[in-house]
Amino acid sequence: MSLALGHAILIGIVAGLRTMVAPLALTIARHSLLWILFAALAAAEIIADKFPRAPSRLRPAPLIARSISGGACAYFLAAGTLPPWIAIACGVAGALAGSYAGYEVRKAITRSLRIPDFAVAVAEDVIAILLAVAAVKL
């Protein structure tokens, strides 16, 4: 059960970093044809994130979307292992933690180390994908 809790929180963190990478990883792991839809959505999100005018992930709409993604993915990932409400709560908590931590770390790296935001954003994409792979390996 504790392993399932960790995976539920981790998939939530992924959703907090990149909203659509979490469901993409889950659909690929489950061999669902929905991966095609989520791959397109994840690619669009990853590209849009690089534009300076992209809205902050901490604004209400993106934060709600990340929380829904994290909760839903945790629910489906931990189905049969955790009670649904615990899985959803872990996913939402992970998504909120990932959103806020991702924002603060990205801001700190670009300001203090003077690394261009684009490079930090690409590194964040890679981290989100690697964490997603780890989360779906039950």
For range 111-123, the mean pLDDT: 94
| Cα separations in angstroms, 127 against 33, 43, 96, 105, 120 | 24, 15, 17, 12, 10
- Looking at residue 1, its pLDDT comes to 72
C-alpha to C-alpha distances, 58 to 6, 29, 55, 74, 77, nearest whole angstrom: 24, 29, 8, 21, 25
Q: How many domains does the chain have?
A: 1
Q: Show the domain range for 132.
A: 2-136
Taking 80 as the threshold, does the pLDDT of residue 12 lie above it? yes
Q: Quote the pLDDT of residue 138.
A: 65
